[in-house]
Amino acid sequence: MTRPARRIIGTIAAALMLMTSLSMWALASPVGAGPDDDFHLASIWCGNGAREDLCGPGDDDRSREIPDKIAESACYAFHPEQDASCQGSDYLDEGYELGESTRVNTGNQYPSGFYFVSSFLASDNVAVSTILIRLLHSAIFTAMMIATWLFLPRALRLTLVASIALTFVPLGVFLIASVNPSSWALLSTAVLFPALLGFFATTGRQRFALGVISAVAALLGLSARGDAAAYTIVAVAAAAVLAFRPTKRFALTALLPLLLVVLAAVAFLTAGQTGLALGGATEPVPGGPSKLTLLGMNLLSLPALWAGIFGLNWGLGWLDTTLHAVVWGATMFAFSGALFAALRWQGWRKLLALAGTGAAAVVVPVYILVSMRTTVGYEVQPRYVLPLITLFLATAIAPAIHSGLRGSAEESTPRAALRFSPVQIWVMAVLLGAAQSVALYDNLRRYTGPGTLSPSGDVAWWWAAGPTPLVVWLLGSAAFAGLMALLAVIGSRYMRSLDAQPAAV
């Protein structure tokens, strides 16, 4: 088989396995299982304005008439002992009654783009529409990942896939295949940084394609969450620092990233929310700790918030889906190993970019916590800092452009690229595959009750049609494990090609 044929088959296989894995996550939770899903589903149904039998005007500007099934969907929230059977036997049927609610995006709390696009899949069957919306967001993520992979210089593909794989299990994959705007915000930051690095490093059609991908990624984030604007600015700044050249050519190339920063700044200043709480900041507590005391408390506790993206002390869904320790143990081990291997001297620009993204992962959550006069564990959730952790790892892994983008317009070699041995790559792949499988099972078990792995599908709750929970778990586990194995093979071959290069002097 020729090399082009292998690449085509590998790309198709990767896309199918990624989409299959995310699709199984889309089926693994009932309607309303994501954080604040009652708000987001109502906003989706009203995302295209008042529509007959979908969304009606309320008594005032702050309310709308929404399906009662949406308002009642999260009957199990904050009650981990309660499975999803509380929704009732007729919940999956067509039809509902409209009732007034203020839990809807009427005051510009969130940007409207995410809700507008998703609203075209709203129908009189809340369950079917919810699944379709989750699948849509999974497909968008898959398409953006594959497109970015295809156009990136070879040395930057590791930055793309490693930073996502090592930070998205379990929280990221759960959110991507959800109706939560965080789906687009996570995608935006994860794709934007490597795409911009590739944009700076390439020429011609490749640069044009990566410029389009960068713009689309930024717009997806800006149309989903207010805080995505801050992530966009940090990602653009980090990419610009790594790619900087004191030349006219760089200045011209930087016009697109500069435009993205301007758009992000406007979006941030005009957004009705920063993505940290639907109710906004809390009032100062009389007699409470001083801001200096809060600053110290939050700095000391901040690692607990970071660790939450791996499932440690923070559950999925409404934070009530507890995960087995192997999930956070395996993912944190793999993440820490990759980060430690990446932390080596690669010049002042790399140090500056890494310091900037690392500072953002500290300053942003701590500033919000202190401003809201609260501490880690309240208000700010791990999903709000996940894009910054992904960006920090991507910055650590990324080669400086002058030192490693094979096939770029610069005179460069891949000598300074991050090195992993095949054993290290396969260990990370196995750990991530196992962690994802256990997390998927834990999520299924949370809502289906006993019998999740029963071949007969005899569980407390499940969809009216489709594969059984056992099949969903097997397909989701196999697809993700297969994807990790494929990436391990590709990564091992790439590392061997680096070893064949002359040693750096």
Q: For 166-219, write each residue's pLDDT tens digit.
A: 999 999 999 999 999 999 999 999 999 999 999 999 999 999 999 999 999 999
Of residues 36 and 277, more confidence is placed in 36
Residue 145 lies in a domain: yes
Dihedral of the alpha carbons of 129, 131, 137, 138, in degrees to the nearest 10: -160
Phi–psi pair at 51, nearest 5 degrees: -135, 140
Residue 274 lies in a domain: yes
What distance in Å separates the CA atoms of residue 269 and residue 246, rounded to the nearest whole number?
Answer: 31
Instruction: Report the pLDDT value the prediction gives residue 107, as an integer from 0 to 100.
Output: 78
Instruction: Report the pLDDT value the prediction gives residue 339, as an integer from 0 to 100.
Output: 96
pTM value? 0.93
Give every CB contact of residue 52 below 8 A, 6+ residues apart in sequence.
none
Q: What's the pLDDT band for 454 if we cut at 50, 70, 90?
A: confident
Tokens linked to 344: 């080596």
Query: Are 39 and 103 contacting, i.e. CB atoms less than 8 angstroms apart?
Result: yes
Domain that residue 187 falls in: 13-29+130-499
Eight-state DSSP code of residue 268: H
Q: Regarding beta strands 56-57 and 98-101, do their DSSP bridges make them parallel or antiparallel, or are they unpaired?
A: unpaired
Residue 120 lies in a domain: no
Provide the domain count of the chain: 1
Closest CA relative to residue 418, chosen from 432, 402, 404, 401: 404
What distance in Å separates the CA atoms of residue 200 and residue 176, rounded to the nearest whole number?
Answer: 28
Rounded to the nearest integer, the mean pLDDT of the chain is 91
Query: Are 326 and 334 contacting, i.e. CB atoms less than 8 angstroms apart?
Result: no
Mean pLDDT of 309-338: 97
Residue 338 lies in a domain: yes
Q: What's the pLDDT band for 152 if we cut at 50, 70, 90?
A: very high
Which residue type, as a one-letter code, is found at position 175? L
First-residue to last-residue Cα distance in the chain: 37
Residue 94 lies in a domain: no
Residue 329 lies in a domain: yes
Residue 102 lies in a domain: no
Residue 408 lies in a domain: yes
**Residue 313: how many other CB atoms lie within 10 Å:** 15
Query: Are 380 and 369 contacting, i.e. CB atoms less than 8 angstroms apart?
Result: yes
Tokens linked to 92: 């999956």
Question: DSSP letters of 116-160?
Answer: HHHHTT--S-HHHHHHHHHHHHHHHHHHHHHHHHHHS-HHHHHHH
